[in-house]
Structures are given as structure tokens and as C-alpha cells.
Amino acid sequence: MGLAELLLLAVGLSMDAFAVSVCKGLSIKKATVKAGVLCGAWFGGFQALMPLIGFFLGTMFADAIKAVDHWVAFGLLALIGINMLKEAFESDCDCCKDEDADLSAKSMFVMAVATSIDALAVGISLAMVGDVNIVTAVLLIGVITFVLSAAGVKIGNVFGSRFEKKAQMAGGIILLVLGIKILLEHLGILG
């Protein structure tokens, strides 16, 4: 997997965290740099940690499912992408309804885990693909998620929720397309 694909993957994975950060920004009277950095650190840290864990889990089981690994990678990425698209088309952002800009460690931990579960599955997919530098992938995912989450707080505070659904849709499409590309490459349709 090349650098351009890893960048797309990182952006796609970061869209859930971006959407939650926009929600946090909506519920903050004045978005501060501290709030942005806090959201970015929590979300970026977990988005980097989870694919690393998934990669090691996937590596342990790679030999057992070598014959169908491309189907597993496609299935996981497609499932996550379709789920993100489904969430984008649902009526309202659930994270905005009951939040009061709680940036406590407990609240941020729960949100960071919730938005990074898909990154765990992507880590498993990366192990199945085989030609991935996991250090580069994890760093890109973490840094891009940090930047977009920190920006999301400010964007939500200034512009409201206009970008939230579009971000989730973009993330879902990116993950779905990457899954299809992996499948088509392994089937020999794409060179």
C-alpha cells in the first residue's frame, strides 16, 4: 500500500473523530486551543493505537486465513465504509444531543474508544494486505486524526454542524473504495 493510499485511509478513518469534534465544538461557548488539542490528542492517540493492535492481531492469524485475506480486508473496509455512510444519512448527530462539552478524561476516553473501533478492524485489514509499513500508517493515521479533530472543534464552534455529515460520507466512500481496490488487486483485475 503506497503513501497516497495510506493518506486516504488516514483521512477516511479520521472522519468519525472529526464529526465528534465538530459536535464538541458546537457545545462549547468559545473554542480554545486547549480544547482542540485535547480532542486531537485523545482521538489521534486512539486512532493510532487501535490499528497497531489490529495489525498485530491480524499478523497472528494471517497464516490461517491467507487464502481469503483479500476478502477479509475488503469485507472489513466495506462494512466500516457502509456503516459510516449509513450514519451520515441518519437524521441527526447523536453525539450532539446530550453533550455539554464535557472534555473530562472519562468522557473523552469513551468517545475516543468509540470512534476508533473501526481503526482496529482496519489494522487487521492492513495485516492482510501485507505490504504496509505499519509505523508509517500509524503515524499518518494519528497525526491526521489529531489535526482534523483539533480543527473540528473550531469548525463546529464557528460553522455549526454543516460539515459533519459530509465528513462521514467522505470517510465512508474512501474506506469502501480502498476495500474494493484491495479486492480487485488481489483478483488480478487491477495491476
> What does pLDDT average to over the chain?
84
The H-or-E segment that residue 120 falls in is helix 105-129
Instruction: Give me the mean pLDDT over the 173-188 stretch.
Output: 83
Domain boundaries along the sequence of the chain: 3-186
Q: Read off φ and ψ for residue 136, nearest 5 degrees.
A: -60, -45
Task: For residue 153, name the pLDDT band (cuts at 50, 70, 90).
Answer: very high
Calculate the CA dihedral of residues 58, 64, 70, 73 and round it to 10 degrees: -30
pTM value is 0.77
Nearest CA-CA partner of 154 in 48, 46, 34, 16: 34
DSSP readout, 47-98?
A: HHHHHHHHHHHHHHHTGGGGGGHHHHHHHHHHHHHHHHHHHHHSSS-HHHHS
Instruction: Give me the mean pLDDT over the 147-159 stretch.
Output: 91
Count of Cβ atoms closer than 10 Å to residue 41 Cβ: 17
Sign of torsion, CA 181 80 110 8?
A: positive
So what's the pLDDT on residue 101?
60
Name the DSSP class of 27: T
The H-or-E segment that residue 174 falls in is helix 164-186
So what's the pLDDT on residue 36?
93
